Amino acid sequence: MLVISSDTVDEIVAHARRDHPDEACGIVAGPVGSDRPERFIPMVNAARSPTFYEFDSLDLLRLYREMDDRDEEPVVVYHSHTSTQAYPSRTDVAYASEPGAHYVLVSTREPDTVEFRSYRIVDAVVTEEEVRVVPALQTDDT
């Protein structure tokens, strides 16, 4: 299950709407091992395409170094589909490389409603999971 704050959901959806009809992409980082998506980081889609997304390679290096310095990991990896449903494409599955992450898909194909779904993608197997949107992440549950 993905537990995520409503503010973060709103930020992801707003990013997807803003970049429509191109795909939007980004991550939500959190402390290593916490499974808490805390820090919203929108990325540039270097492909600038309605059917493909890719983080710019130097942005990717900077992002991973920064997370490393802060003891963070990508808790959520998100991107949008702009004319199809919010389900991982064959390409999404082929390139999924963060087995610990929640892969969030947002569909902006309908102007008035948004699909927001989450998946695990491990060894090319896609498993949808429940999304629980909370007003705010609990401050500490350890």
List residues near another protein by CB under 8 A: 25, 27, 43, 47, 51-55, 57-58, 60-61, 64, 73, 77, 79, 88-92, 94-100
Residues in Cβ contact with 116 at an 8 Å cutoff, skipping those fewer than 6 apart: 9, 12, 13, 86, 104, 105, 106, 131
Q: What residue has token string 């991982």?
A: 88
Which is closer to another protein, CB of 6 or CB of 91?
A: 91
**Smaller CB distance to another protein: residue 14 or 61?**
61
Residue 139 CB, nearest approach to another protein (Å)? 27
Q: Which is nearer to another protein, 2 or 101 (CB)?
A: 101
Q: Minimum distance from CB of 112 to another protein (Å)?
A: 25
Distance, in Å, from the CA atom of 89 to the CA atom of 72, rounded to the nearest integer, reads 27
For residue 73, the SS3 value is: strand
